[in-house]
Amino acid sequence: MRISQQLQVGTANCVESRLSATGEKARSSLDGPLSPRPHAVSIGLHLGAHSSREGIAMICRLVAGLFLLVVANVSAFAQGLPAPSYWKNQRGSEMKISAIDVRGNFVGAYINHAAGFQCQNTPYDLRGRAFRGHIVFVVVWTNSVADCKSKTVWRGRVIGPTILTRWVLTGAGFKPLRGTDIFYQQP
Ligand code: BTN
């Protein structure tokens, strides 16, 4: 059953329980215009019905909220990348993933500490996408401190607390550089 169908069924159940709480029964197509309605029950329960209707509406909202929370967490799990999370690679560079959405798009910061490269020791914006264990992320090496006129794209796989990647560094005035990085999740 698709999520939208489940929501519809959930809503239908809530409507049904609201009717029964007020002493009304759901009218079917077999009910004629003169079908008796349980007025006495409805009037007798009027005061109590009001508060119980609010209670049921609140429960419905809570259930819907919980449902969305579960769906969001299942999606995050499918992406395989926890957020927030903190990673370091074998060159000592740091990567912070601050947030990820249900589509797997994430943002964070990258601090380059790799020997032999420029743009070191200050944070650069990072953005990327993770889905079903695959990951792609990009850093454009420009911030308020330095502009290296270059960009790195990493592509790879998230395997539990490890991210295995291949990267390409491109920029003005040099041929693309390629390499591999392994990121280890930090506490
Ligand atoms: C530049 O030198 O133009 C910018 C810095 C590039 C740093 C590279 S990106 C791939 C490799 N992995 C790192 O953590 N740092 C280097």
Same structural domain for residues 57 and 143?
no
Give the pLDDT band (50/70/90) at residue 86.
very high
Same structural domain for residues 65 and 12?
yes
Same structural domain for residues 115 and 171?
yes
Ligand 1 test: best mutation among 87, 89, 93, 147, most atoms within 8 Å of CB?
93
For ligand 1, is residue 169 a contact (CB within 6 Å)? yes
Same structural domain for residues 89 and 10?
no
Q: What is the pLDDT of residue 91?
A: 98
Same structural domain for residues 13 and 53?
yes
Give the pLDDT band (50/70/90) at residue 3.
very low
101 CA distance to ligand 1 centroid (A)?
Answer: 26
48 CA distance to ligand 1 centroid (A)?
Answer: 67
Domains identified in the chain, total number: 2
Same structural domain for residues 90 and 51?
no
Q: What is the pLDDT of residue 53?
A: 79
Distances (CA, A) of 165 to 32, 35, 78, 116, 137: 69, 70, 19, 19, 10
Structure-model confidence comparison of residues 69 and 4, the more confident one = 69
DSSP line for 131-151? ETTEEEEEEEEE-SS-EEEEE
Structure-model confidence comparison of residues 11 and 142, the more confident one = 142
Please, which residues have CB within 8 angstroms of residue 45's CB and are 6 or more apart in sequence?
Answer: 22, 23
180 CA distance to ligand 1 centroid (A)?
Answer: 11
| Position in ligand 1 atom list of the atom nearest CA 110 | 14
On the question of pLDDT at 6 being above 80, the answer is no
Same structural domain for residues 89 and 172?
yes
Q: What is the pLDDT of residue 19?
A: 36
For residue 9, give its domain range: 3-78
For ligand 1, is residue 88 a contact (CB within 6 Å)? no
Same structural domain for residues 39 and 127?
no
CA distance 186 to 180: 19
What CATH number should be reported for the domain holding residue 123? 2.40.128.30
